[in-house]
Structure formats: structure tokens, C-alpha cells
A and B are shown apart, each in its own frame.
Chain A
Amino acid sequence: MTGPTLTRRAALAGTAGLAALAAPRVRAQTAARIVIVGGGFGGASAARFARDAFPDVEVTLVERARSFTTCPYGNLVLGGTRRIEQITFTYDALARRGVRVVHDDAVAVDPQARGVRLAGGTTVPYDRLIMSPGIDLRWGAIEGYTEAAAERMPHGWVPSLQPITVLERQLREMPDGGTFVMAIPDNPFRCPPGPYERISMVAQYFKRAKPRSKILALDSKGGFSKQPLFMEAWAELYPGMIEWVSASNDGKVMKVDPQALTLTTEFGQVHRAAVANVIPPQMAAKIARDAGLANQSGWCPVRARSFESAQVPGIHVIGDASIAAPMPKSGYVASTHARQAVAAAVAALRGQEPPDPVYFNTCYSHVGPDYGISIVGTYRADGDRFVEVPNSGGISPRNETMTPERRAEQRRLEALYADGWYESLTRQMFGLS
């Protein structure tokens, strides 16, 4: 609870204060144009920050869709504790704050002429471009997994391509006693703990509504984010329900048959699913690849202090499309990429060096009711490499390090904080507070 004094003071200090202080430094120049392509966690955060911190910079956000459904908390729709409307936002508040929001499809970037061509035919000129294009799925990387196959075997990984409700509906219609089979990709991919939160949330739903059902998670990796915490929680909350198969135990899915609902692994085992969720390998979205921003890996190399492309000057690439390891491909960290990229872009326009970066990430996962876990990390630039600050960050404490009472409290608080994290981050990026 905040009283009116705090509210006013905090509002001034948080937003207008910074704007008022920053304003005189850019006022002498003509209005620089920052264009942001993509309105997800990176792009919306960039627009918000650019608008607040640099009032005399013209900020344009190009985003195809009029609303945005977050990847975070999509798994809670599967678990039955969120509805999709509750995780869907518009760009109206950002527009009211002075961001020029253009709802069109960015089809091409011309780095020489410094313009973004839109499907509608017009070109948006920029002085500095920030690309937050997100990911594309590599159709066909798993044999048989095409766009058409994804209707029968949903990915539920890119909300703009397929709402999470497609997978939700299949789970609701699944008879009790069936097996939910997941195919999980190798690194790097969007949201490293996401598949395992999904396993947890589907388990939570099964426990309540379909207790004889099973979950089989076929993984292309040997291990995963927050693994010991997830494993301990699954054994405790969902005993006997979840089987996770690592790559070395023949977990890597090579082929799917959407008609038969089967998934075939590396050594030829065929698994039949009642509901199949295939999360395929990924790459930077097409517009970034077409603009020459991606290397042969399919992802976009960037400079560690500015997120400027290592391949095309004048364009910053943030969020999941960028190569920013050891940072994970997460929404939260994309919002910190965004602020640094905006600051670096404006610095470049003034002929200055980018400020010293500090990147920060928190990823919470819900594992069950009143049961949350997290991983956090702080990152800096060391020359042109991203490095995690030594001895910082890490995952929530393991069960064995706590008394039973403290354990329950730790997990309960982290579930609560996860909800606060989601509220705060989404309200901030969409300009709602």
C-alpha cells in the first residue's frame, strides 16, 4: 500500500524525474528517430524506456499485432490458474505515453538507406534501429514437424503463431489415463526453464482433473535449467506421474507423425501420445535473418556493451534473437537488453560511448500451488563478451538446506513473488504504470 505522497514522489522519481533531467541534454539536437521493430518483452520495454528517458527522441514501435499475449504465464493457462485474457495486453498505454505505435508488418530493413519497409508499402526512416524480432521455429528440423503438423501437435511456444489455448483445449479433451508427450529442444532456445514449468503445470492440472494420466518428456539435452529443484518438486508433488528422458537415454525426438500422434526418438523408439507438444529448434525471426543480422547459427551476434549488431552497424538486436549467452533467452533479461540498447543508441547518435552495462535476469517458475522456484543472474560486459558476475545469482535453495517450515515458506514466497514479477514487468513494458 502506498499513500498519496509516496505515490506522487515515486512517480516523479521513477519517470518524469528522469525525463526532466535528461531532456536538456538532447534538446539542442534535432529530434532523433529511434525505431523499434517487435513489440514483445524487448521491444515494448525499449519503447517505454526510450520514451521516458529521452523525451526529445522520436520513438516509433512497429508491431504487426494489436495485442500481445505473453509467453510467461502461458503455462499457467494450461495449469488452469490463468485465463488467456489475463496475459494479453495492448499497446494503447504506450501510445498514450507518446510512443508512435505502427501496427504493420515490417518486411525488410535497408541498413544503407536506414529505413524499415512495411507490408503496407510505406517505409519508416530511422537514425537508429532496435530490432526485437523474437524467434522463428525451424519447421522440418524434426522430420514431419511442419506448420500443418503443429495443429495436431501444438508447440504453444510462440503465441503470435499459435495461442496456448490450442494446447489447453487438447489437454481438456484428453481422456484420463492418456499420456502427454513433450519434445524439448537442445540449447539455445527461448525460455530455458519454460518446458519444465510446462510439465509442472500440466501435472498440476492432471493431479486435479485427470489423475491417472502420465507425462513423458523427451529431451534433446542431458540436463536443464533448475533441474534439481524441478526434480525434487515433481517427486514430492506429482509422484509417479512424470518421466523425463535425457538425450543420452534416447530422449531426442527425430521424427513425428501428426496423424498417428507418434514421436520417434534417435534410436528408433516410437512413443504414442494422447496429446503431443512439440517444441522444435528455433532461430532468430526471418526479418533479422533477411537483414543480414544472423550468422550461420541462425542467431544474431551483438556487441556486449551496446547490443549493436556485430554484422550490420547502426542496428541493435535485443531479446531472444540475439546471441547473448551466458544470459538466457528470457523476457526479463530482454527488458534489460532493451534499456541498455536504447541508451547505447542515443549515445551513438551523440557521438558518445555506450554507458557501462549491467544486465539482470530473474526467471520464476511455478511448480505447483504455492510452490515457486527461481534462477537469477547479473551480467556485465568484459571486452566484447557477456559475463556473469562471479559468485552471484543462481537457483533457489535446495530442499536439504532448509527446515521443512522454511522450505514451505521459501516456495510459497517465490510463487507470490513470481506473480508480482509478472505484474510489475508487464505493467512497466506496456506503459500501464
Chain B
Amino acid sequence: MPGQGLTATAIALLGLLAAPAAADPLRTALVTGGCTGCHGQSGEGGNGVPAIAGTKSRADFIATMQAFREGKGNPQPTVMDRIARGYTDEEFALMAAHFARAN
């Protein structure tokens, strides 16, 4: 982790983001831009759209996205099956690192 030389705030933020060691925050922002359009700037949900921030562990977040993509799990997805089929496992991991609970 690139902890050396960063301010305490930045270290705290890194912890919160909890991205994989190589994760580029810009790439995370570009990839999660597809999520926030509906789920809110911070993934907070609202207006009937479910919250995705802090609701699942990282592993569960990824598993949920994979289940949408493979058509397993939730038997009656509304839009997420069509959306998840456009994304890769690496991108699911970036989304999870950004939105999922810390543990």
C-alpha cells in the first residue's frame, strides 16, 4: 500500500476506499460512474433505487454482481442483469472496493 508520505487524512481515506494495492482512484471513479448515475453520487440510493454503499461485504458485492451477470441468484432482476453483463470481474472488484463495507 502506498502509505508512506501521505497525510493522515489521505491514509484514512485510503483505508476507507480499501482498494486493491494497484487500484487507481481515477479508474475507480470512471468505472463507478456507471453506478452512481442511478444509485447516487455516493451509492446512497434513494427514490426507490437501492443503496449500494456500505450494504454488503466486498465478497458479497462481487458475488451479487456476478450472479446478475450469469443470471443466477436473484431470479427476477429488473435492470441489473442487463447492466452487469457489460462489466468485467476486475471492474466488479473496483466497484466492491469502493462501495462495499470495510469487512
The chain B residue sitting closest to A333, CB to CB, is B37
A196 interface residue per 8 A CB criterion: no
For A10, the chain B residues whose CB sits under 8 A away are: 42-44, 53-54
Q: Is the CB of A343 within 8 A of B30?
A: yes
Q: Is the CB of B34 within 8 A of A336?
A: yes
* Count class of interface residues, chain B: 35 or more
Q: Is the CB of B36 within 8 A of A421?
A: no
For B49, the chain A residues whose CB sits under 8 A away are: 416-417, 420-421, 424
Q: Is the CB of B43 within 8 A of A393?
A: no
Q: Is the CB of A428 within 8 A of B37?
A: yes
> Given A14-B36, A20-B10 in contact, is the A417-B78 Cβ separation under 8 Å?
yes
For B25, the chain A residues whose CB sits under 8 A away are: 17-18, 21-22
> Given A53-B29, A406-B76 in contact, is the A392-B42 Cβ separation under 8 Å?
no
Contact with A378, one of B37, B44, B87 (Cβ below 8 angstroms):
B87
For B47, the chain A residues whose CB sits under 8 A away are: 416, 419-420, 423-424
A360 interface residue per 8 A CB criterion: yes
Q: Is the CB of A414 within 8 A of B79?
A: yes
A-B CB pair tally, cutoff 8 Å = 167
B67 interface residue per 8 A CB criterion: no
For B28, the chain A residues whose CB sits under 8 A away are: 18
Contact with B42, one of A15, A378, A423 (Cβ below 8 angstroms):
A15
Most buried by A among B6, B27, B44: B44
- Bound Cα distance from A18 to B10, whole angstroms: 10
- Bound Cα distance from A22 to B13, whole angstroms: 12
For A295, the chain B residues whose CB sits under 8 A away are: none
B51 to chain A, nearest CB (A): 7
User: Of the 9-residue stretches A136-144, A166-174, A257-265, A350-358, which lies at the interface with chain B?
Assistant: A350-358
B interface residues, Cβ below 8 angstroms from A: 6-7, 9-10, 13-14, 16-17, 24-31, 33-34, 36-49, 51, 53-54, 76, 78-79, 82-83, 85-87, 91, 98-99
A interface residues, Cβ below 8 angstroms from B: 2, 6-7, 9-18, 20-22, 24, 49, 52-53, 332, 335-336, 339-340, 343, 355-358, 360, 362, 374, 376-378, 389, 391-394, 396, 406, 409-410, 413-414, 416-417, 419-421, 423-425, 427-428, 433
